[in-house]
Structure formats: structure tokens, C-alpha cells
Amino acid sequence: MDLQLTGRVVLVTGGSDGLGAALVRTLVAEGARVAFCGRDEARLHAVAEQVIGGPGEAFGRVADVRDPQALAGFVTAATDRFGAVHALVNNAGASSTGPFEKHADEVWQADLDLKLYAAIRACRLVLPLLREAGGGAIVNSLAIGARAPGAGSTPTSVTRAAGLALTKALSKEFGPDGVRVNAVLVGLVRSGQWERAAAREKIAVEDLYHRMGHNSDIPLGRVGRAEEFADLVAFLVSARAAYLTGTAINFDGGLSPVA
């Protein structure tokens, strides 16, 4: 199926590792022009090199999405390079969980800054550009805890629930402008953070994934793959998903108790 992404400009935050890096590779393979950001310059360069020679093109920029000026600079660099924006994927974020009583205000604020306020600011920056382009798409990468929070899941579950509300509100407000806003709720998926966790535990990463897949009651019996996440998001930002907005899709192998 042709996703009709050739020449479309897509911005991806948190694009230097894991799910974001997989998405950059998939979008370029589909012919899109991709601007992506992250905090690690070496990882940005590595992803950019991986897509050289693809049907599309990509460039990475060092930017901490928690910094409003850095985020604005990223969006400006993307428009200077490509001349337009057709889609935004808010993917930056890392899990922060633990006992509620151990989280000081600083922990909550850091999580909100990284996952919620960064997405709010990115949407605010990009919405005028999407209107200029005649419409477009925003995808917020969230987590299944947004719908089904468990014990010890704060602050991430609360921040992600706010992101879910943001998704629905913006879909209602900007639908008349032809801007679609959807979310992907991620469960357990292979990523760089789990590779680093395996290294800290001094075990093979495949052993960790096997343990996670069989000890987490995932109906499909395995953790997801970053490439599978990328396929879903690429579809959501494409013209093939033209009648989808205001929805949140569980990407979790059936793990969440809430559909």
C-alpha cells in the first residue's frame, strides 16, 4: 500500500533512539522528508547516516524539547530546510515511575516538562504551519498507562493521561482546519532504554525481552518491535488515515485491559 508520503515533511521529536529512530528510518523509506531532534549528537548522526540514499531525506538537530527556545529553533530549522510542515510526531519522553510518596515536586515537574509541556509547545509551533499546508497530522506517542494506570505508575501515567486529553481536545478544535490529531499508546516495546537496562543487569538483551514477554501477561507472548510502532505511526500521518482523528490506538500486544 502506497502511504503517499513522498515529499511530505514530518517532524519527529525524540528521533535519535529506539522508537523515534525506527520511525525516521521508516518515513525516509516511504519517501518523506524528516526533521528529527534529540539530545545526543552522536546518535543523531548515526540515524542520519542510516538513511542516506533512501527515497526520502532526513536531518537531525540537537535540541532538548524541555527548552522552549531549543524546540522553536528545531521547528525553524525544519521549515528553513524543507519549506513546509505536514506532520508532527511528539515522541520525546522516558518512563518515570515509582512509589507516589517518594516523588517530590521536582520529579513531577520534570516529567510534565518532558512529556506534556514539550508536546503542547510543539503543537503550538506547528499548527500554523499545518494550516498553511492545507492540513496535516499530529501523533502523540503516549503509554497504555494513560488509560489503565497501575500502582507505582506515577508520574508517567498521569502525564500520559494529560497527553491523551490534549489529543482529544486538539482533534476537536483543529479538525475544521484539516488537522488530524491521534495518539499511540505504547506497551512493552524493544528500545534503547531496555538495551541499557540489560547492560546494567549484565544480561543478554534477548534474555531480558524473553523475560518481559512471558512475565507480563502479554497475550501475544512477546514485546513489540520498534519497526512495528513505526509502521503504525507512518500510517497515521499519511493520507491513508485521512478519516482518523481523536483516536488512541493501543500498541501493546493486547496487554492493556482497556481497549
Locate the domains of the chain by residue range: 9-187+224-250
pLDDT attached to residue 55: 97
Query: Distance between CA 2 and CA 69 in Å, rounded?
Result: 36
pLDDT attached to residue 182: 98
Handedness of CA 170, 175, 180, 183 (dihedral sign): positive
Chain position carrying cell 547516516: 49
pLDDT attached to residue 213: 87
The pLDDT tens digits along the chain (259 residues) read 899 999 999 999 999 999 999 999 999 999 999 999 999 999 999 999 999 999 999 999 999 999 999 999 999 999 999 999 999 999 999 889 999 999 999 999 999 999 999 999 999 999 999 999 999 999 999 999 999 999 999 999 999 999 999 999 999 999 999 999 999 999 999 987 788 888 998 999 999 999 998 888 999 999 999 999 999 999 999 999 999 999 999 999 999 999 8
SS3 2: coil
Q: Which fold has domain 9-187+224-250?
A: Rossmann fold (3.40.50)
Q: Strand runs (DSSP E) across 63-118, as ranges?
A: 87-90
Query: Distance between CA 225 and CA 252 in Å, rounded?
Result: 10
Query: Distance between CA 192 and CA 21 in Å, rounded?
Result: 10
pLDDT attached to residue 65: 98
Chain position carrying cell 526533521: 35
SS3 214: helix
- Residues 6 or more apart whose CB falls under 8 angstroms from that of 52 comprise none
User: Could you give the angle at the alpha carbon of 93 between the alpha carbons of 220 and 21, nearest 5°?
Assistant: 70
pLDDT attached to residue 1: 87
